Amino acid sequence: MREVAVIGVGLTEFGELWDKSFRQLIAEAGSKAIFDSGIGAREIDALYVGSMSAGRFIGQEHVGALVADQAGFSHMHIPAIRVESACASGGLAFRQGYLSVASGINDIVVVGGIEKMTDVTGNAASDILATSMDQEWETFFGATYAGIYAMIANRHMHEYGTTREQLAQVAVKNHANGALNPYAQFKRPIELKSVLNAPMVASPLGMFDCSPLSDGAAAVVLCSMDKVKKYTDKPVKIIGSGQASDMLPLHGRDSLCTFEATVYAAKAAYKQAGIQPKDVDVAEVHDCFTIAEILAVEDLGFVKKGDGGKAIENKITTLDGQIPVNTSGGLKAKGHPVGATGVAQIAEIVFQLRNGADKRQVKDARIGLAHNIGGGGASCVVHILEAMKK
């Protein structure tokens, strides 16, 4: 397998972007990434796009061809592939692009992720997101993702003593980081008391424990390492890529407190990279709900199982902590346009490893990890990237 690097990134702002269409968002992110990379359009071999449910959100299927058209590539007739894995669609699109270059089939690919979620009502969006749960055993009986993660949170609190305050501290941390991110949906800090006093969604999770509905797009350019010097002196090398899946419904799993898909995807990524969890300097993890970040830092091996709540309480995962997590603000504050999330996580890691994250920069960051899960942990993609020495 060939070595592969990220040579360009591009993001739109995340939020309720009613004045921008699906087409405009992906064109904006893609053009920024291509400009950042320094490549010419005719050098692109393929396009991969992560999008969970454009057919339900905006009534548009056949997304790969649409994106190629809006990006101005239709006359070039390059392959354009749409990738879906629920909320992990962006991360999986990135993995597919990486594998295509690593295999030698392609030399340069553009990977995008996009979702336009706010053109439907909140109830409709919840119904659309619920299609990624088990329709017979969960959705049919009225389960929602807030309800699913609330059950996980309650079990984690029961087994490990995790507290409501620790859950709330995740939201406080990520909003503080989001306030430093110009692309974030929410750009202001929040106080602990605001999280604790917010309206309840599904006990113990309140409004500030839940990621928002968002519009937005992200894109990156991947290049084989042997061609990198032609375009940039600041490539970020992909040193590990892992993917795993699990049972779709929660009731069939061994534990509600461990996402085995994360454990196995991370294990594969660490093995390929030749590193251990302690070697990671910065991480973007999938915090669709505050309990999800607590599970992630445990399942990725940053702390032992059951200590995720203590990690946030002891400031291990803050911007100046031992392992800064979600410096972008995470899904919680940056926003969660589901198809774009995994690619946006990669973009944040690239910013950090290039030393270009401004006020949220982690000092001397050299190795970064991106963790993207689908639904209630039934699919997971983990990537590890490394800053290249000049």
Among the listed residues 87, 223, 288, 380, the single catalytic one is 87
Among the listed residues 156, 175, 336, 383, the single catalytic one is 336
C-alpha distances in Å from residue 205, one per residue of 86, 148, 171, 197, 242: 22, 11, 11, 11, 30
pLDDT (tens digit per residue) in 128-163: 999 999 999 999 999 999 999 999 999 999 999 999
pLDDT (tens digit per residue) in 322-370: 999 999 999 999 999 999 999 999 999 999 999 999 999 999 999 999 9
pLDDT (tens digit per residue) in 86-96: 999 999 999 99
Burial class (CB in 10 A: 0-12, 13-18, 19+), 230: exposed
Beta bridge partners of 382: 242, 371
pLDDT (tens digit per residue) in 209-228: 999 999 999 999 999 999 99
Q: What percent of the chain clears pLDDT 70, i.e. is strictly above it? A: 100
158: left (phi over 0), alpha (psi -120 to 50) or beta: alpha
**Is-catalytic flag, 257?**
no
**CA pair distance 331, 329, nearest whole angstrom:** 7
Q: Given a cut of 80, is residue 390 above it in pLDDT?
A: no
CATH number of 133-209+239-387: 3.40.47.10
pLDDT (tens digit per residue) in 287-304: 999 999 999 999 999 999
Q: Given a cut of 70, is residue 25 above it in pLDDT?
A: yes
pLDDT (tens digit per residue) in 87-121: 999 999 999 999 999 999 999 999 999 999 999 99
Domain spans in the chain, listed from the N-terminal domain onward: 4-121+213-236, 133-209+239-387
**Is-catalytic flag, 158?**
no
CATH class for the domain made up of 4-121+213-236 = alpha beta
Q: Given a cut of 70, is residue 77 above it in pLDDT?
A: yes
The answer to whether 4-121+213-236 and 133-209+239-387 have equal CATH topology is yes
Burial class (CB in 10 A: 0-12, 13-18, 19+), 19: exposed
User: Edge-to-edge strand order for the sheet containing 80-83?
Assistant: 80-83, 46-50, 108-116, 215-224, 4-11, 236-245, 379-387, 367-374, 282-284
Alpha-helix residue ranges (DSSP H) falling in 329-384: 330-334, 338-353
